[in-house]
Amino acid sequence: MGGGLRYAALVGLVAVREEGPVVTALAACGRRSLSCYLAQSVVFVAVFVPYAGGLGDDLGTAASSGVAVVTWAGTVAFAEALRRAGRAGPAEALRRRLTGRPS
């Protein structure tokens, strides 16, 4: 638990001091976190659960971690593409539409 907190603090310090494409992409993912979370959940269900892809029992730890990292990187890239286009994430746009908040 302490290691995770230190790692998060270190990432925060680096992000504050260095403004670059990686930090910008991560910030875009944070601003579209609901869409990224839902996309990751859909991928994990499609790949791992028995009634969908069913690879949960067949993949080892390294392969499962690889799926997770590739999925996360894909959602970060998706969020960055949306940022460059000046658009909100699909889930954020739907939430705003349903709650009556302006974009």
Task: Provide the pLDDT for residue 1.
Answer: 66
For the stretch 43-102, pLDDT in tens is 999 999 988 877 878 888 999 999 999 999 999 999 999 999 999 999 999 999 999 876
CB burial readout 9-36, b (16+ within 10 A) else e: eeeeeeeeeeeeeeeebeebbebbeebb
Nearest by Cα to 11 from 1, 32, 21, 26: 26
How is the chain split into domains, by residue range? 19-99
Residue predicted with more confidence, 10 or 41: 41
Task: Provide the pLDDT for residue 102.
Answer: 67
One-letter amino acid of 41: S
Residue predicted with more confidence, 7 or 22: 22
